[in-house]
Amino acid sequence: MTCLKEEIEWTDTWITQANGTDLSRVLLVGDSITRSYFPQVERRLAGRYACVRFTTSRFLADPVYFRELSGMFEEYEFSAIHFNNGLHGQDFSAEYYREGLEMAFEFLSCRCPPGRLIWAHSTPVLRREDRTCPSPRPRLRRPTCVST
C-alpha cells in the first residue's frame, strides 16, 4: 500500500542540552499533541533528565517516519522513550494502523532499556465537520492497539 501524504508534512526535533549533559536522556516521540505537552514534561523532569522530542505528522507506516526517527539514535542513548501516536493517517484502515504501530513498537523497544518504553495512547481528535465533538476514530483504533 502506498502511504498517502497530508497536504503539509512536518517533523520537529528538539534536543535539550545537545552539547553534553551528565543527565540521562528521555525521548518523547509523537505528533503535535506530544509537541504541545513537551514543555510541561521538560519542566517537571528538569534537573533529573535531559528531554528530547521527535514529533511529526507522518503516519506510522510511512517508511520516511522510521528513516527520520533513526537519526535520533545515531548520537544519543535514551534511558526511557515515551510514545504517543494516533492523530495522523486518518484515511488508513485500522489494520494498516496496527501494522505501523507494531513496526513502531519493535523499532523503539530495541532502542531503550527493557520496561522503559512508555505508550500514551491519548491523542484526542475532533470531528472535521464541527471541531467540537470527539471523533470516533481513536476509539475505533483502540481494539487494534490492545491486540498489538
The model's pLDDT over 90-116, given as tens digits with 9 standing for 90+, comes to 677 778 888 888 999 999 999 999 999
- Hey, what CATH topology would domain 11-147 get? Rossmann fold (3.40.50)
Query: Is this structure's pTM higher than 0.85?
Result: no
CB atoms within 10 A of CB 40: 9
Angle between helical axes of 94-109 and 63-70 (0-180°, round to 10): 20
The model's pLDDT over 48-84, given as tens digits with 9 standing for 90+, comes to 999 999 999 998 888 899 999 999 999 999 999 999 9
Order of strands across the sheet that contains 11-15: 11-15, 49-56, 24-30, 80-84, 117-119
DSSP three-state, residue 26? strand
